[in-house]
Amino acid sequence: MCAQLIDGVAIGQTIKEEIAKEVATLVEETGCQPGLAVILVGDDQASATYVRNKEKQATKVGMKSEVIRMPAETTEEELLEQVEALNEDETIHGILVQLPLPKHIDENKVILTIRPEKDVDGFHPVNVGKMMIGQETFLSCTPYGIMQLLERMDIPVAGKHAVVIGRSNIVGKPMGQLLLQNDATVTYCHSRTKDLASYTRQADILVAAVGIAKMIKAEDVKEGAVVIDVGMNRDENGKLCGDVDFDSVEPVAGAITPVPGGVGPMTITMLLQNTLESAIRASR
């Protein structure tokens, strides 16, 4: 048996085309152009690449895109002042501070300073709380993107046993919550879980968000399961790979996301979706 490939590039492209159309309509009808501001502090190369990509894709769908580059020695106070200025800027609907930040800056303080109405990453505690109780909010982009992959592939979630490996605030925890809200029965696993495979083998939907290259093998997966690989790791040859050993798991799974080309492209796509939703709310 061969698993159905969940193509995040193609699905992400379709969603971006939908976003571009909605942006054009919004501009035409209200004169409001969605604006995304990204703050990059320091000179981490990986972060710089992510930010360039976000800028490029936002522009491509017709949004205003602003990147604010600040030196590594920026003080916490200077960064908070910059966030406050963007909070007040009516042309900006989404603010994102690229993480990680230099060690002398308190990430939580920065996230708390972003106005929840502009927190398109969905990291502010107000938005996390709203997600927990099912109110309209900005959903954390990676789990939101995974829910879109499942929906657009017509993969049913209700009544399924979803096992999420990982409990980070940005991926694992919100992932489980969104699956729960869509009526899955959810099990969380993490580094202290005993006999991990005894859980993963029960999963109808298995989400791996750990950060260990190829840790999930064929024997850890139930025949026909939907396998979602969030991991972004380097293998022994320096090649990008996921948490799932794709070659061994693909013949067992019912459907599977590749790395690259699965979950990754959806994260930026949903950031654009959140920015669009923010602009729509602001223009009401």
Q: Does 122 bind ligand NDP (CB under 6 A)?
A: no
CA dist 65 and 275 (Å) reads: 11
- Applying CB under 6 A, which of residues 127, 140, 142, 200 lies at the interface with ligand NDP? 142
Q: Does 233 bind ligand NDP (CB under 6 A)?
A: yes
CA dist 116 and 126 (Å) reads: 7
- Applying CB under 6 A, which of residues 37, 83, 170, 179 lies at the interface with ligand NDP? 170
Q: Does 114 bind ligand NDP (CB under 6 A)?
A: no
Q: Is 154 left (phi over 0), alpha (psi -120 to 50) or beta?
A: left
Q: Does 209 bind ligand NDP (CB under 6 A)?
A: yes
Side-chain-facing half-sphere of 173: CA atoms under 13 Å: 11
Select which of 57, 82, 98, 148 is catalytic: 98
CA dist 42 and 36 (Å) reads: 20
Tell which positions 248-277 bind ligand NDP, by CB under 6 A: 263-264, 267
CA dist 99 and 90 (Å) reads: 24
Residue ranges of the alpha helices (H) in the chain?
8-30, 45-60, 76-88, 107-113, 125-132, 141-152, 172-181, 196-200, 246-249, 264-283
Q: Does 189 bind ligand NDP (CB under 6 A)?
A: yes
Q: Does 168 bind ligand NDP (CB under 6 A)?
A: yes
Q: Applying CB under 6 A, what is the total number of residues that bind ligand NDP?
A: 25
- Applying CB under 6 A, which of residues 103, 192, 194, 284 lies at the interface with ligand NDP? 192
Q: Write down the residue that tokens 């050993």 correspond to.
A: 245
> Is 98 among the catalytic positions?
yes
**Pairing between strand 233-234 and 240-241?**
antiparallel
Element housing 67 (H / E): strand 64-70
- Asked whether 174 and 122 are in contact (CB, 8 A), the reply is yes
Select which of 57, 119, 121, 273 is catalytic: 121
- Applying CB under 6 A, which of residues 190, 234, 239, 281 lies at the interface with ligand NDP? 190
Among 21-29, 51-59, 153-161, 226-234, which window interacts with ligand NDP (CB under 6 A)?
226-234
> Is 13 among the catalytic positions?
no
Q: Does 99 bind ligand NDP (CB under 6 A)?
A: no
> Is 119 among the catalytic positions?
no
Closest residue to bound ligand NDP by CB: 168
Residues lying near ligand NDP in the complex (CB under 6 A) are found at 142, 165-168, 170-172, 189-193, 196, 209-212, 230-233, 263-264, 267
Q: Which residues are catalytic?
A: 54, 98, 121
